[in-house]
């Protein structure tokens, strides 16, 4: 996979207190396979833009800076994805501090083993089932379950970033479904659609990164938290309505990948 190029997409909203460290670690820990960094400032009004631009000025890399009017995560991610030109898209959230050198090359490894992969998350992959009016996850593998680093765990859905996507496959699926805006469950919907329409799979392959809960804006801001809770409630029902039958066909395969 050494000949493949990667576009990094990072959307951010008012993270002035931590964003300098987030961006610096991201750039320092990416390999030369990254051809461009696409930074989306979504409704930022706290100086995040200038901090990021000043940090990037230290590096001889290709940076693309765009602003969106507080359209939230799902739409902001799609905006960045559609600007990407690399063979693969690496996306992560603005509260994720990467601590592993050349982590982008590591996340490409599963794609060299299977050619039917849509996306690989460095967090969790899981199977799901409907219980009443909610969704229960099981067979969870990944960072939150301390899965071994040499295991690529194929499951029905992946949950949040960092995620490496095959850009051409993502485009064929028309990116994230914006019915799931402002945020949450869009990655699950994408996973179900990928398998139903093309038999493409997803899975987890862990890297080293930190993301304390208090860094996330959906948790430490009252207004954002209310929007997030309402969106989760809406989107869980969307997932149930659209994909309850797909949940019956689960995936539970672990592949050893040489370190």
List, in order of start, the domains of the chain with CATH numbers: 6-256 (3.90.550.10)
* Of 29, 18, 24, 34, residue with least CA distance to 164: 34
Cα 174 to Cα 26, 115, 136, 200, 222: the distances in Å are 27, 19, 27, 14, 32
d(CA 166, CA 190): 13
Cα 175 to Cα 61, 134, 159, 193, 238: the distances in Å are 26, 25, 16, 11, 17
Q: What is the pLDDT of residue 2?
A: 82
Q: What is the pLDDT of residue 216?
A: 66
d(CA 144, CA 69): 33
d(CA 42, CA 73): 8
Q: Please tell me the pTM assigned to this model.
A: 0.96
Per-residue pLDDT of the chain (259 residues; tens, 9 = 90+): 789 999 999 999 999 999 999 999 999 999 999 999 999 999 999 999 999 999 999 999 999 999 999 999 999 999 999 999 999 999 999 999 999 999 999 999 999 999 999 999 999 999 999 999 999 999 999 999 999 999 999 999 999 889 999 999 999 999 999 999 999 999 999 999 999 999 999 999 999 999 876 666 554 677 788 888 899 999 999 999 999 999 999 999 999 998 7
Tokens of 103: 């982590």
d(CA 92, CA 35): 16
Can the peptide bond before residue 182 be classed as cis, meaning omega within 30 degrees of 0? Answer: yes
Sequence length of the chain is 259
């Amino acid at each position: 996979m050494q000949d493949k190029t990667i576009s990094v997409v990072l959307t951010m909203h008012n993270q002035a207190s931590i964003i300098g460290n987030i961006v610096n670690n991201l750039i320092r820990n990416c390999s030369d396979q990254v051809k461009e960094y696409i930074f989306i400032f979504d409704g930022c009004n706290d100086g995040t833009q200038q901090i990021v631009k000043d940090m990037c000025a230290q590096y001889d890399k290709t940076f693309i800076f765009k602003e969106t009017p507080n359209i939230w995560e799902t739409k902001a991610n799609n905006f960045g994805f559609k600007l990407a030109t690399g063979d693969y898209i690496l996306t992560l959230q603005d509260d994720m501090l990467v601590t592993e050198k050349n982590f982008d090359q590591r996340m490409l490894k599963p794609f060299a083993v299977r050619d039917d992969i849509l996306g690989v998350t460095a967090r969790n992959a899981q199977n799901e089932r409907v219980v009443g009016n909610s969704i229960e996850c099981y067979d969870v593998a990944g960072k939150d379950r301390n899965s071994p680093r040499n295991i690529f765990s194929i499951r029905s859905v992946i949950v949040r970033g960092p995620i490496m996507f095959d850009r051409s496959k993502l485009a064929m699926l028309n990116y994230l479904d914006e019915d799931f805006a402002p945020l949450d469950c869009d990655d699950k919907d994408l996973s179900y659609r990928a398998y139903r329409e093309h038999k493409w799979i997803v899975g987890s392959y862990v890297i080293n990164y930190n993301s304390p809960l208090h860094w996330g804006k959906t948790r430490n801001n009252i207004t954002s938290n209310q929007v997030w809770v309402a969106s989760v409630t809406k989107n869980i029902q969307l997932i149930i309505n659209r994909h309850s039958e797909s949940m019956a066909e689960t995936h539970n395969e672990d592949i050893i990948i040489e370190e």
